[in-house]
Structure 1
Amino acid sequence: MDIVGNRTLRDLLMEKTEKHFDKKFLLFEDREQRRFELTYKEFADQVNRLSNVFLDLGVTKGEHVTLHLPNNLEFMISWFALANIGAIMVPTNVLSTSDEMEYILNHSESVLLITEEEYLGKFANTRRNLPNLKEILLARYEGDAYENQDLKALIANANNQIPTVPLDAEDVAAMLYTSGTTSKPKGVQITHANYLFTGEVMSKSIRLTPDDRQFIVLPLFHGNAQYYSTMSALVVGASIAITERFSASRYFKQAKNFKVTVGSLFAAPIRMILAQEYCSDDKNNDMRVIWFAQSVSEEQLKDFEEKFDVPLLQMYGMTETVGVPLMNPIDGIRKNMSIGRPTIGYEVKIVDEDGDEVPNGLSGQIVVKGVPGRTLMKGYFKNPQATAETLIDGWLYTGDNARLGADGYFYFVDRVKDMIKRAGENVAANEVESVLCDHHSVYESAVIGIPDDMRDEAIKAYVILHENETITEEELIQYCRERLAKFKVPDAIEFVSEFPRTAVGKIQKHILRQMHNERIQKA
């Protein structure tokens, strides 16, 4: 038996509730800066009640339920209530468009949608195209028009008995959609065992104790907030403070008010915090570590740590690896220009195109060894080909290039996949290209990531129009705004007559990037 055994999320919550009955578990600040709190006992009670609401609505084990919610308590309660009955949470980005949500709801075969009143509009015209969707429930609802769909009222009127649906550690508990190199996102299947394993790995990698308090400002629909923050806190019986939105100007003020001790950020939020007017009092906080992902300059690292007196730890992980396979050591030498060393439970190596390990210092693809459904994702939903291409002989092929230094630390190089990293969000270039090419004026498009001081990368599209067609850059960007989430919309579009190509006709995007860089240098 491994560290997880056959425990499930239901088992874990019951265990921690019994041990930390009246301890504060969740603290939440909404966008109007109102505060809410739940103890372990209160949270478990809400979870059990909502579990029975789902059962009364006919939700059964193995069925998918989509959460289209910002950070709030209802997200957390819904996540664990679904796990309680063996149903599968499908968390989605609230910035997703109507078209994007129609695809996810249909692909996941979701039978229930939980959202808020302000997002109902994006489902109004697509409801008839969603044959599996039986009901929509509304969180934080205040009116009368949808009282039968009011999540709060349904919970209040439900019984709080713990469901008895049989569960197994390797049952799927969630499906997180991630951008791929194809035009449509893939559903990454995450099991109960996956969640418990990553909680164990992360809690031990940062020495988390029951006295710690995690600070979540990143979106709960992402793996980062679920895997590394929530699960690490729960497995040790710690507490969690959540904000509805990230605020660069208030980050450390919120951290002090919540008395948090550990946090998680991406590179872009770090730069945004540094861009604010500095308040020396922000240094007087209780935080002992913040882990982060993606490239931050040495100067920015030094500036952040000196201004706020908090050590940073760079790490590497992805939705499919579940846990964090690489991280700078909390008790060792921190080399934050690297993505760290292997963590507990993982083996990592760098391989060439044939899958053979390369010598130290040479670039190759990061591959992570593990067990699907326990230490790695179970697979991609309804996509056996993509699963087989990613999980090979117990190794997960990440699509990211790195090199292993003589010092034993891994150093990120670039992405194998045609992926753009924009302020912490993965954007598949092919997805944006597909939308552009749907426009009747566009003959062909090529999308690249270009350097951006604040957001890591901005999105630039090169477009060839059909003969005798005309359209402006702003008109085409607006077309994308109506069909893509905000973070996927191109920042700039350049019209060209032809693309640089290989002998077999493949667009040479590295030359497009070179063209852009040369133009910037001349400006």
Structure 2
Amino acid sequence: MTDARTHLDPATPTLDAMGERTITDLLEEQAGQFGDRTLIVFEDRTGAITELSYAEVRDRAHRCAAGLAARGVGRGDYVVVHLRNCPELLVAWFGMARLGAVFVPSNVANTASEIGHIIATTGARRAITEPDLVEPVEQAVADAGGGLEILVARGAAGSHARFEDLLETGGPVPDDQARSMDVCELIFTSGTTRKPKAVMLTHANCLRAGLDSVHCLWLTPGERCLTALPMFHVNAQAFNLFGNLTVGGTLILLEEFRASKFMRQVREHEATQTCLVAMQLRTLIAQPVDPAERDHKVRRLFFAINVTDEEKDAFEERFGIELINGYGLSEAMTLLACSPIAGPRRWPSIGLPSPGRRLLLLDDEGREVAQGEVGEIVVEGTPGRDIMLGYLNDEEATAAALHGRLLHTGDNAYADEKGYLYFFDRKKDMIKRAGENVSAIEVESTLLEHPQIAEAAVVGVPDDIRDEAVAAVVVPTEPGVLSEQEVIDYCREHLSKFKVPTLVTFATQLPRTSIGKIRKDELRKELTGAPAPPPAG
């Protein structure tokens, strides 16, 4: 008998758990069910605490939508949000979502030039920020020729409109204008290009992220997930926001991470789960021992690669918290693989594919590699539901990453005999710095705009705390015309702090292969003393 499945085209729609729903539907459903249950506990930098229930977040989102609509925001409009972790960021997002508008979070480390790139890419006409972050937004707007309205939240607005006044506009609550496959947010991500690309994520992508988190991390009703990870990245959005919202949990949102306070905050907020990046794990291990540091309710802590055997063992033994490793990326709304909660972990494996996810390991010819061989991680799925729709206004980059239902991640891994995945390296020219991705090409392009720099190459070198340091090798137009500090200061004017090189060296020429490609392996050897493999040609 012929298997009927062989007659299905891979593009044929199939039933999935997201359905034809939006993040507005999710908030409405959960607010209707949980009402007075606390959705957000927010602790700001001063230690002041604000709590909002499910119903209160829904009601504020309704009022925000009405206020934005009164100012002309509608379906398909882009709104830049340059805020630290705070309830206003989430209220703004859900308000926009109801209108079918698009949330465009901006890293608060972004310079005016980087914010200007976001504005130019999206054509956004509005931005939301806060008093001590308004200056680079104002500069970006001025550089763009004006015409973009700035709203200021969380304090004095000066000559700008107050975000809080949106909530008092009045008027009817707009109907939900969005659809499941509409773009819900843009995430600007570094990769192999001169400028960050805008990843288009839909409402379905966001709902999928919540479900992945629930299934992989065994989130349950009443969960209390604490995070200091920024909400302008997908990690905190997927695990802490949408994971919690999906099960009716509580999001404990910290405005910032402070190693000296973190374990106390975990105890006081009675957190049950949390997530950190590798750098934060290291800073916690380095803290003085607190006799009460094991007196907590945290069952597990999720992180993503870059932790050594010694660091993992030291953390688990000291704090009594189980570490769960995983892998993901913005283009797939994060959690693609995860260590099993029950069953062997096979450390340092990044785990098994998340439920319903299909991951392939392919060679450069697009063929699956054998067990134990290194191949590129490729995600099979439906664009706009399992993986991104593409990059906004960048057909070339979209075509390079998306081949039909296949998303090429640019990351290499291998699998063992049980199917467990092990991260190997990045095909992309990217540096991991304290949980942030830094495009070497973006930093190089910035350096090459300096009139006294003829050539530049940027590589990552080991950093005991922050994963990798950004190192620049610069060939000046003339010997002695530049100092290391001048190069660093120039980069600070144009790049986010985490992208600025911390190590600058000068050379008369860059090492190259026979076909003219810069030998970055040789540069790493010179900078670190590590051996370089022979050139590939």
Task: Supply the AA of the counterpart residue of 1:407.
Answer: K
Does the Cα contact within 8 Å between 1:429 and 1:448 map onto a contact in 2?
A: yes
Deviations 1:416-473 (A, max 9, x none): 0100000000000011111111111110000000000000000110010113561110
In 1: Cα distance, 2:95 partner to 2:165 partner: 16
Does the Cα contact within 8 Å between 1:111 and 1:132 map onto a contact in 2?
A: no
Question: Match for 1:374 among 371, 379, 385?
Answer: 385
Superposition deviation, residue 133 in structure 1: 4.5
Deviations 1:95-142 (A, max 9, x none): 110111111111111111000121222133332343685311001123
Match of 1:216 in 2: 227
Which runs of structure 2 are paired with 1:267-346 in the superposition (5 Å)?
267-346=278-357
Matched, 1:34 2:45: no
Question: Match for 2:86 among 72, 75, 78?
Answer: 72
Change beyond 3 A, Cα 1:357–1:519: closer
Change beyond 3 A, Cα 1:105–1:335: same
Matched, 1:227 2:227: no
Superposition deviation, residue 406 in structure 1: 2.0
Does the Cα contact within 8 Å between 1:109 and 1:132 map onto a contact in 2?
A: no
Superposition deviation, residue 28 in structure 1: 0.2
Match of 2:23 in 1: 9
In 2: Cα distance, 1:295 partner to 1:469 partner: 38
Change beyond 3 A, Cα 1:389–1:495: same
Deviations 1:309-359 (A, max 9, x none): 110110000000114111100112123311111111101121110110111
State the secondary structure of the residue aligned to 2:418: coil
In 2: Cα distance, 1:323 partner to 1:417 partner: 17
Match of 1:115 in 2: 129
Q: Compute the TM-score of the two structures, normalised by the length of structure 2.
A: 0.94
Superposition deviation, residue 266 in structure 1: 1.1
In 2: Cα distance, 1:321 partner to 1:157 partner: 37
Superposition deviation, residue 517 in structure 1: 2.1
State the secondary structure of the residue aligned to 2:72: coil
Deviations 1:287-327 (A, max 9, x none): 11111012111111111111111101100000001141111
Question: Match for 2:528 among 510, 517, 521?
Answer: 517
Task: Supply the AA of the counterpart residue of 2:59.
Answer: D
State the secondary structure of the residue aligned to 1:176: strand
Question: Match for 1:60 among 66, 74, 81?
Answer: 74
Please identify, of 128-137 and 21-30, the stretch whose mean Cα deviation from structure 2 is larger: 128-137
In 1: Cα distance, 2:480 partner to 2:306 partner: 41
* Regions of 4+ moved over 6 Å: none
In 2: Cα distance, 1:24 partner to 1:387 partner: 40
Deviations 1:207-264 (A, max 9, x none): 1111111112101100101112210111111110000001111111101111111111
State the secondary structure of the residue aligned to 2:96: helix
In 1: Cα distance, 2:404 partner to 2:165 partner: 49
Question: Match for 2:65 among 32, 48, 51?
Answer: 51
Does the Cα contact within 8 Å between 1:402 and 1:412 map onto a contact in 2?
A: yes
In 2: Cα distance, 1:465 partner to 1:323 partner: 40
Match of 2:10 in 1: none
Long gaps (5+) in structure 2: 1-14, 532-537
Does the Cα contact within 8 Å between 1:315 and 1:324 map onto a contact in 2?
A: yes
Change beyond 3 A, Cα 1:323–1:500: closer
Q: Compute the TM-score of the two structures, normalised by the length of structure 1.
A: 0.96
Matched, 1:95 2:109: yes
Does the Cα contact within 8 Å between 2:222 and 2:247 map onto a contact in 1?
A: no
Deviations 1:502-522 (A, max 9, x none): 1111101011111122289xx
Does the Cα contact within 8 Å between 1:183 and 1:430 map onto a contact in 2?
A: yes
Question: Match for 2:163 among 136, 151, 159?
Answer: 151
In 2: Cα distance, 1:84 partner to 1:216 partner: 25
Number of positions where the alignment pairs a residue of Structure 1 with one of Structure 2? 517
Match of 2:275 in 1: 264
State the secondary structure of the residue aligned to 1:249: helix
State the secondary structure of the residue aligned to 2:283: helix
State the secondary structure of the residue aligned to 1:402: strand
Does the Cα contact within 8 Å between 1:202 and 1:323 map onto a contact in 2?
A: no
State the secondary structure of the residue aligned to 1:283: coil
Does the Cα contact within 8 Å between 1:280 and 1:307 map onto a contact in 2?
A: no
Task: Supply the AA of the counterpart residue of 1:477.
Answer: I
Match of 1:190 in 2: 201
Question: Match for 1:409 among 420, 435, 439?
Answer: 420
Does the Cα contact within 8 Å between 1:176 and 1:187 map onto a contact in 2?
A: yes
Match of 2:5 in 1: none
Does the Cα contact within 8 Å between 1:197 and 1:323 map onto a contact in 2?
A: no
Does the Cα contact within 8 Å between 2:227 and 2:253 map onto a contact in 1?
A: yes
Matched, 1:139 2:114: no
In 2: Cα distance, 1:494 partner to 1:301 partner: 34
Does the Cα contact within 8 Å between 2:80 and 2:104 map onto a contact in 1?
A: yes
Q: What percent identity do the matched residue pairs reach?
A: 39
Matched, 1:467 2:481: no
In 2: Cα distance, 1:500 partner to 1:429 partner: 17
Does the Cα contact within 8 Å between 1:141 and 1:152 map onto a contact in 2?
A: no
Deviations 1:164-206 (A, max 9, x none): 1432100111000001211111000010000111111111211
Does the Cα contact within 8 Å between 1:312 and 1:336 map onto a contact in 2?
A: no
Deviations 1:73-109 (A, max 9, x none): 1111111111111000000111110111111111111
Question: Match for 1:489 among 491, 497, 500?
Answer: 500
Long gaps (5+) in structure 1: none
Match of 1:387 in 2: 398
Does the Cα contact within 8 Å between 2:98 and 2:177 map onto a contact in 1?
A: no
Does the Cα contact within 8 Å between 2:349 and 2:423 map onto a contact in 1?
A: yes
Match of 1:350 in 2: 361
Match of 1:20 in 2: 34
